Amino acid sequence: MSDRETPFDASFRGLKLGHLRLLSELRAVGRLGLAADRLGLQQPAASRLLAELEEIIGHPIRERDGRSLKLTEVGEALARRAERVFLELKDAVRDIEEAASGNTGHIRIGSVTGPALSHLLPALRHLREQSPNITAEVVVATSDQLCEGVLSGALDFALGRIPSHLSNRLTMRTLGTEPLALVVRRGHPILMQSQIGIEDLRRFDWVMSGDETPLAQTVMRWWSNAGYPPPTRWISTMSFLFTLAVLKETDAISPLALPVVQSFTDGVSMPFVQVPFDMGVAVDALGIVSRTDATLPPTAERIIGMILRES
């Protein structure tokens, strides 16, 4: 080893991107032939690349598992790093293209429903006015789904909450909590009452997201703290569109983030109305979620700056 050579240099001398790309594909598909096909390689060439990689790092990286190949612990660890390398390279290509072209770019953003309306939509509107050549792709889903998208590179960042099992791989810039409000169809019987109490709310069906979501858990705690069991009749759905359809066609009540309720009850022409009842609760803090230590593309940082200024 030379004076300037580190243990890292010695261990990975001769390592090429082709080695890492093949290892990443093998982790994804589990079969060498399929991984080779996806990279445009013949299987003998792919076998030689794996043998070279094992010689370079000095450890076996694969073992036979029936008809498939299974990565060893060493192979699995290196494959995870390889995936991150290619995510960063893909982002680097975008950085170069955006820097070279000036005011253009494409942003991939995820958001849970409330912040999509209260934080993301105003920022996108300002971005569109300032830089009409920047395009945006928006995915609205649960926090769990969005965080997986951020980790895989399918999303640049997301507005949501980080599940506990991903807290060491993601970071969050806090935006605040989500106050909840109740919404019903226009003409709902409960709107005819001069005063509305909790017992009145329990007389109707409820529709909201599954009980594993932060919103549903917050509502459950609200019922419990008020000294009541939750309503016995409710519909559980992750579809916001289906929630609106149920509200429009029935006498159901739905707890939703306040910005969402305000967006769909703003004006007499809207088919929904906010129930004049203050729940006095908010869903736990959410924020801007990105990969830990990731360098986001300039266009993504630009819209994050707009979101933070509007918050």
pLDDT one-digit tens code per residue, 239-281: 889 999 999 999 999 999 998 999 899 888 899 999 999 999 9
Q: What is the pLDDT of residue 89?
A: 81
Mean pLDDT, the chain, integer: 86
- 7-84 carries CATH number 1.10.10.10: yes
How far is residue 237's CA from residue 213's CA, in Å, rounded to a whole number? Answer: 11
Greater pLDDT, 208 or 310: 208
Ranges 9-13, 40-44, 58-62, 88-92: which has the least confidence: 9-13
Of 74-78, 164-168, 192-196, 299-303, which has the strongest mean pLDDT?
Answer: 192-196
- Phi, psi (5° rounding) for residue 21? -65, -45
Domain 89-176+285-310: assigned CATH number: 3.40.190.10
Domain with CATH 3.40.190.10 in the chain: 89-176+285-310
Q: What is the pLDDT of residue 9?
A: 52
CB 66 within 8 A of CB 30: no
Is the pLDDT at 102 greater than 60? The verdict is no
Confidence of residue 213 (pLDDT cuts 50, 70, 90): confident
CB 170 within 8 A of CB 288: no
CATH architecture of the region 177-283: 3-Layer(aba) Sandwich (3.40)
Positions of E strands within 117-200: 134-140, 157-160, 170-185
Q: Say if residue 18 is exposed, middle or buried (CB neighbours under 10 Å; 0-12, 13-18, 19+).
A: middle
Is the pLDDT at 52 greater than 80? The verdict is yes
Domain with CATH 3.40.190.290 in the chain: 177-283
% of the chain exceeding 90 in pLDDT: 40
- HSE of 150, CA atoms in CB hemisphere, 13 A: 34
